[in-house]
Amino acid sequence: MYIMLSMLFSRRRVWAATALLGLALGVTGCVDRSARKTHGMTATGCDNSTVIVSIPPLRSLVTAIIGGDFQVETLLPAGASPETYEPTPQQLIATEHAPLIFVTGLLDFEKVIVGKLCDKDGNKVVILSKGIQLIEGHGVDADGHNTGTPGRGHGVDPHIWLSPIELAAMAGNIYNAIARLHPDSAKYAGNYHKLISDLSALNERIKNEIDSAKIKSILIYHPALTYYASHYGLAQIAIEQEGKEPSAATLKVLVDRAKKEKIDKIFYEKQFPEAVVRSISQETGARAVEIDPLREDVMRNLLDITTLIIKK
């Protein structure tokens, strides 16, 4: 009896050790899929009929093309900041099951996930910033013009989803990836062309509304509207500089400029502190207006942001 119990405990220790090793591999490195099946590991809520996107706005683009044929899971939880978010072990395991993972390729938590994946052929992870002329920097000069320049350096603005022009390029990357898996699907091609048509109409509508309102500058805490401002001829005046709150001297310059240009709104995101925004609001009389760059319905969001910009 003692021998049988000893053997049983020994086997349990082996099983426990095997399970822990499998989890460690899933979290810290590339996991072989056949090995994971042997150990009975499955990704919660994710299988080969589920595709994954990194942030909510990407979900609306992917869904517009694939319809309801695949489940679409989002990695970034509601209310979380992509600048500080860290993927969970469960998410790292889940990404190994998905046939496609769509990322901007510009956010730190995306890079963590991509670095963990077994993507030998390079087709599993779809980098949606491919082919987009990225903008580096987000400031404005003394004349109120954007100083951001095309580039791919440390200061590249990642908010490529906040412009219809970039959204169209991203949609092309999404469709190409889906077409590789389903080359004979006329449905996906039709959905893609409709999406491109909708984005073109959205771009024209925003351009006309901004031009009609004769808005020249926008004041914003975190510079999330770099691509939007660049396409529609707006100077984006950012309160936050290189991820840091402004100095007292910089604040004075911002307040003086806001008063001079009669800027009546300060845009901010709920993920960032409101104290500085409220301070400038009191100094200038401009009201603080909250926006959410990470809303899932990105096209509706761009229309709503435009309305907030031009509304008196």
The token pair at 41 is: 């590991």
Q: What residue type is 298 in one-letter code?
A: V
Task: Return the residue matching tokens 């709920």.
Answer: 270
What confidence score (pLDDT) does residue 306 get? 98
pLDDT 10s digit of each residue in the chain, 312 long? Answer: 333 333 333 443 433 333 333 333 343 345 444 333 322 223 334 556 899 999 999 999 999 999 999 999 999 998 898 988 999 999 988 898 899 999 999 999 999 888 888 776 678 999 999 999 999 865 543 334 444 544 433 479 999 999 999 999 999 999 999 999 998 889 999 999 999 999 999 999 999 999 999 999 999 999 999 999 999 999 999 998 777 888 888 888 988 998 899 999 999 987 776 787 888 888 888 999 999 999 999 999 999 999 999 998
Rounded-to-10 torsion of CA 99, 104, 110, 111 = 100
What confidence score (pLDDT) does residue 121 get? 67
How far CA 159 is from CA of 138, 164, 282, in Å, comes to 11, 12, 29
CB atoms within 10 A of CB 242: 11
Task: Return the residue matching tokens 């914003």.
Answer: 220
Alpha carbon distance 182, 220 (integer Å): 42
Strand 101-103 relative to strand 50-53: parallel, antiparallel, unpaired? Answer: parallel
Alpha carbon distance 36, 20 (integer Å): 12
Contacts by residues 283-286 (CB-CB < 8 Å, ≥ 24 positions apart): 283/255, 284/255, 284/258, 284/259, 286/219, 286/258
Q: What residue type is 125 in one-letter code?
A: V
CB atoms within 10 A of CB 194: 12
- Classify 276 as helix, strand or coil: helix
The token pair at 211 is: 């031009």
